[in-house]
Chains A and B, each alone.
Chain A
Amino acid sequence: DSGVTQTPKHLITATGQRVTLRCSPRSGDLSVYWYQQSLDQGLQFLIQYYNGEERAKGNILERFSAQQFPDLHSELNLSSLELGDSALYFCASSVGTSGGVRQYFGPGTRLTVL
């Protein structure tokens, strides 16, 4: 168990809908990362938050947005869903300014868009 939790585990929805994925980092970790794993694109970085602020952005679509709350949990919002958004979405956390480069991955949320 990495200490990172993600909910829900599975999500099935229809095209055009909007969903929210939730991530709780390990206790004390300030940074949260979101990754998408799909058959087409492989594993790719979406976005990073550090202590509530956006720190880095990757190949995140404009239909996607994220935020990190004061209690450090993070949410990834996916809107106007398309079939191609079906993927496994991982959240990872790391310790931030106290050092350490290891990222701890959550179990992922599997999104299926029908």
Chain B
Amino acid sequence: AQTVTQSQPEMSVQEAETVTLSCTYDTSENNYYLFWYKQPPSRQMILVIRQEAYKQQNATENRFSVNFQKAAKSFSLKISDSQLGDTAMYFCAFMKGSNTGTASKLTFGTGTRLQVTL
């Protein structure tokens, strides 16, 4: 079974600064995907960024980037130029890959609550 660990229950960052959220995972799979989801106070689950395990290059989406260390089973999220709208709960998630490239269940970490302050 896969496990996802987020060791930072809460973090705070000032507007315009950079913050890094940590995530580690445990799996014996070689084919998998990793995700970061954002859950603002509205409770909607919003996909922030995705990383395929077979890709060495770290994924980036505008101000969001990841540091994927496959050997260390680490998948951290860096938010640059933090904005008030980034205030949310952030979940790291694991998905086992399939031969057909289709989706399967997500296994989530416990989340990190990020507060962006003025």
State the A residues within 8 Å of B (CB): 2, 31, 33, 35, 42-45, 48, 56, 58, 88, 90, 92, 94-97, 99-103, 105, 107-108, 110
Contact = CB atoms under 8 A, between A and B. Distances in A.
B91 A107 contact: no
Contacts of B105: 33, 45, 48, 56, 58
Contact of B102 (A44, A90, A96, A108): A96
The binding surface of chain A is classed by DSSP as strand
Given A90-B45, A108-B43, A103 B108 contact: no
Given A42-B108, A42-B111, A105-B44, A94 B100 contact: no
Contacts, number: 63
B16 interface: no
Contacts of A97: 100, 102
Chain B CB within 10 A, most for which of A42, A58, A88, A95: A42
Nearest to B33: A101
